[in-house]
């Protein structure tokens, strides 16, 4: 795997492990509790996992025609910066329609972790197929950023979890 992709993947895994450690020992009823008609911790994680799964599926299809795909440029870098800022702000955004109104929910943290483990394994396997010449190819499609590259996708995954982690932690505190 390309060194840059490996480093980003390792960073994602560290981030994920830290969150799962914070959720260890959370009872199933608390994990699935919805307060004020907001998503439960289970649904928030379900949303994050589903977004990653669908993104990897899309990129896995696009990589088959990577030679026909354009490179990202300065506009892509600018849009990534805008996305990072937007994810760090405490604002609410509607989930993309292709993810549905209600994200998948899990019986407990262990079930969510198992699904996330599988999603991350698929991500790792995909990243191992990306040639160095494909790092700047527009193989990822973000609903706001538009078409961007695999590095942008991994950075979005990081920012997406940073965006949703405070929601999870607020529910964890009760």
Residue pLDDT tens, the chain, 174 long? 999 999 999 999 999 999 999 999 999 999 999 988 889 999 999 999 999 999 999 999 999 999 899 999 999 899 889 888 888 877 677 766 666 667 889 999 999 999 999 999 999 999 999 999 999 999 999 988 889 999 999 999 999 999 999 999 999 887
Q: Supply the CATH classification number for the domain 3-173.
A: 1.20.120
Provide the pLDDT for residue 56: 97
Cβ proximity of 40 and 31 under 8 Å: yes
Contact 48, 114 (CB under 8 A): no
Residue 147: strand pairing partners? 141
pLDDT at 87: 84
Tell me how far apart the alpha carbons of residues 154 and 156 are, in angstroms, rounded to a whole number.
5
- State the alpha helices, DSSP H only, in 3-149: 3-23, 28-31, 41-62, 74-88, 109-127
Contacts of residue 169, defined as CB under 8 A and 6 or more positions apart, other chains included, come to 22
Q: What's this model's pTM, rounded to 2 decimal places? A: 0.92
The pLDDT of residue 12 is 98
- What is the model's pLDDT at position 41? 96
Please give the DSSP secondary-structure letter assigned to residue 108: S
Report the alpha-carbon distance of residue 169 to residue 87 in Å, rounded. 16
């Amino acid at each position: 795997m390309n060194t840059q992709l490996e480093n980003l993947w390792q960073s994602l895994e560290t981030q994920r492990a830290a969150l799962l450690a914070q959720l260890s020992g959370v009872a199933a009823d608390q994990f699935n509790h919805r307060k004020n008609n907001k998503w439960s911790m289970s649904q928030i994680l379900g949303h994050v996992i589903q977004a990653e799964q669908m993104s990897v599926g899309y990129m896995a299809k696009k990589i088959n025609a990577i030679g026909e795909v354009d490179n990202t440029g300065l506009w892509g870098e600018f849009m990534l910066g805008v996305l990072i800022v937007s994810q760090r702000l405490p604002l609410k955004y509607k989930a993309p329609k292709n993810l549905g109104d209600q994200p998948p929910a899990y019986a407990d943290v262990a079930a969510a972790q198992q699904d996330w483990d599988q999603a991350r394994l698929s991500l790792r396997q995909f990243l191992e197929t990306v040639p160095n010449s494909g790092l700047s190819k527009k193989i990822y499609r973000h609903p706001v950023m538009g078409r961007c590259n695999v590095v942008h996708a991994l950075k979005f995954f990081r920012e997406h979890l940073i965006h949703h982690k405070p929601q999870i932690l607020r529910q964890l505190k009760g």
